[in-house]
Amino acid sequence: MSAPTIKITVDQREMDARPGETVLQAARRHGVDIPHFCYHDKLSIAGNCRICLVKVNNLPKLQPACNLPVAPNMVIETGVEQVQQAREHVLQFMLLNHPVDCGVCDKAGECRLQDYQHAYGPKQSIARDPKHHKRKLHDLGPRITLDNERCILCSRCVRFTREVSGSSALGIVERGHHSFVEAQVPGRFDDAYSDNVIELCPVGALLSKDFLYQCRVWFLQPVRSVCTGCERGCSIKVWKRMNVRQQHMPGTDSSHVAYRTTVFENADINGPWLCNKGFDQHKWMARERLLQPLVRGQAVEPAQALAEARKLLAAAQKPAVLVSAHASNEELDALKAVLGDVPAYLHRDWAPVDGEVVEDALLIKADKNPNRAGVVARFGERTFDPAAGHDVVVVWGEVTAPLPLGAAAWIHLTPFATPLEHPATVVIPVSNTWERRGSFTNFEGKRNVFEPVFQKPAGVQHAADVLRSLAT
């Protein structure tokens, strides 16, 4: 059953609108982007920026498209002189006290104000007034810096903390042109979802302290990935330098640097939001790697490590596999194909760490591994039983807490160095999530895919290849 539709016309183009929808929403669905700063699909309608004013049914007064419910046979015009004039005025007003310091602003290149000014702004400023000065480079909280001069007071960030994250940590204080965005406790904006306001900000007012002055965004390209921080498995974009934009300076290698992580909007899983742990993925994934194969603590060639592991398994009376909840579905399938009747146990690479939000009602889940559901679907949810008498155990995944393996011999497949004293007999480095294509299945059973961000380092193998090799 499809809902009845309403016919409207936007710039001579007839389109179907849904009852209850606004003109801006209907137009967007049909690929007509009416400019907007304060409007956001997932926030309440503020209607304060006034850039989306459109002409309706030839009425003299323009209406904001963001707050205009569609009505049958409504005729909307966005290209007429009056609308263009209004946009010019709004942009002129916004830039009256805006510093226009795009040259030193991280937002340049992905700034709505910049884009709209180019598309709709007046060719020349008519202002000859000195600009009002406001607070600059203000630490809004530990992660975000605020430039009140660049702010256009669209209130997206404020609405986000009230309507989405629920912290109500931000507000707009004072009145009129003295108004400015402020944290509930100045300097202490520490909402677990705070970094969403950076991308929500349509201008360069809210910026990431981590990414501040690190790179021009037009040198970067995003790669679709999945956050490995918990079993929600939110979609993310990992930003790395374009190949043609690599730095060639002695002592620098930018080819394996992820500069930032942002949200990849995924209506099915995370919508347009991500928690701060997700925004920190580029830092988390940069933790110390394990690159050197080891046999009984001695560095060896990869082939030697594999041979030693095969020897151990061949002699094993009762082998077992601990299966990483960070492994991709494709890797799990590879294991399943070669496992035979060897028992497999769920291995949770990570448990919540001190100070971390364990679980909340928005995105964050208590299981801090992205593919528990993928493991469980294939191998069940058994946890390793020390009393079962396994003599050789393949431990696949990071070990972040002591494992009760007793006297069993270990074969450890891990992408990252372990902080624990390493008792494994054989250690084989494997690639991490960002070095291959694959998918995770989240706690709701939803599959989410990721693309390779970087090439795997030399000498490191994909776990699926290692597993296949061990089985032969």
Partner 1 sequence: MNTHFTPALLEQFDALRRQYPPEMNTSLVLPLLHCVQDANGFVTEADAHAIAIYLGMPSIQVVEALTWYSMFDREPQGRYVIKVCRNIACSLRGSERIVAHLQQRLGIDVGETTPDGRFTLKTVECLASCGTAPAMQVNRTYHEQLDEAKLDAILESLP
Partner 2 sequence: MSGPVFMNHEVTTTSHTLAEYRARGGYVAFEQALRDYTPAQVGERAKASGLQGRGGAGFMTGLKWEFVAKDAPVVYLCCNIDEGEPGTFKDRWILEHSPHQLVEGMLIASYALRVRHAFAYIRGEFDLPLRRLQQALVEARAAGLVGENILGTGFSCDIIVHRGAGAYVCGEESSLINSLEGKKGYPRNKPPFPAVKGLYQKPTVVNNVETLATVPWILRNGPEQYAAIGVKKAPGTRLFGVSGHVQRPGMFEKPTGYPLAQLIHEDAGGILGGRKLKAVIPGGSSSPVLTASEAEAVTLDPESLGKAGSMVGSGAVIVVAEGTCMVRLLQVLSRFYAHESCGQCTPCREGTDWMNRILERIVAGQGTAADLATLKRLPTGIQGNTVCALGDAASMPVASFIKKFGDEFEHYVTHGRSLHEGRLAP
Q: What φ, ψ does residue 304 adopt, rounded to 5°?
A: -65, -40
Residue holding tokens 């795997």? 456
Asked if 163 and 44 count as a contact pair (C-beta separation under 8 A), the reply is yes
Binding test (CB under 8 A) with partner 2, winner from 57, 73, 84, 85: 85
d(CA 190, CA 147): 17
What is the contact mask toward partner 2 in residues 28 to 47, using x (rule: CB under 8 A)? -----------------xxx
User: Alpha-carbon distance 146 to 137, whole Å?
Assistant: 6
CB of 172 to partner 2, least distance (A): 7
Looking at 16, 18, 28, 67, which residue binds partner 2 (CB under 8 A)? Answer: 67
Report how far apart, in Å, the C-alpha atoms of 410 and of each of 322, 403, 423, 440 are.
Answer: 10, 10, 8, 26
Is residue 114 near partner 2 by the rule CB under 8 A?
no
Closest distance of CB 280 from partner 1, Å:
26
CA gyration radius, the chain:
27
Q: Is the dihedral of CA 320, 325, 331, 336 positive or negative?
A: positive
Residue 334 has phi, psi (to 5 degrees) of -60, -45
Q: Is 123 in the site for partner 2 (CB under 8 A)?
A: no
How far is it, in rounded angstroms, from Cα 412 to Cα 419?
A: 14
Find which of partner 1, partner 2, none residue 126 binds, CB within 5 to 8 Å per kind.
partner 2
Minimum distance from CB of 165 to partner 1 (Å)? 12
Q: Are 195 and 208 in contact (CB under 8 A)?
A: yes
Which one-letter amino acid corresponds to residue 112?
R
Please give the Cα distance from 168 to 151 (Å, whole number): 19
Nearer to partner 1, 172 or 357 (CB): 172
With a CB cutoff of 8 Å and minimum separation 6, the contacts of 407 are 391
Closer residue to partner 1 (CB): 189 or 239? 189
* Binding residue (CB under 8 A) for partner 2 from 111, 152, 227, 470: 152
Q: How many Å apart are CA 310 and CA 324, to the nearest integer?
A: 20
Which residues in this chain contact partner 1 in the complex, by CB under 8 A? 162, 168-175, 182-184
162 binds, among partner 2, partner 1, none (CB under 5 to 8 A by kind): partner 1
Shortest Cβ 67–partner 2 spacing (Å):
5
- Pull the structure tokens for residue 41: 């699909």
Q: Does 57 sit near partner 2 (CB under 8 A)?
A: no
Q: How far apart are CA 238 and CA 224, in angstroms?
A: 6
- Binding of partner 2 at residue 223 (CB under 8 A)? no
* Closest distance to partner 1 from the beta carbon of 188 (Å): 12
- The residue (of 86 and 305) whose beta carbon lies closer to partner 2 is 86
Cβ proximity to partner 2: between 93 and 259 the closer is 93
Minimum distance, C-beta of residue 260 to partner 2, in the bound complex (Å): 29
Q: By rule CB under 8 A, what count of residues binds partner 2?
A: 37
Structure tokens, 19: 């009852």
> Looking only at residues 156 through 185 of this chain, which bind partner 2 when binding is defined by CB under 8 A?
172, 174-179
- Joined tokens for residue 379: 């191998």
- Residue 425 CB, shortest distance to partner 1, in Å, is 56
Tokens of 240: 């790395």
Residues of this chain that interact with partner 2 (CB under 8 A) are 45-51, 53, 60-62, 64, 67, 69, 85-86, 88-90, 92-94, 96-97, 126-129, 152-153, 172, 174-179
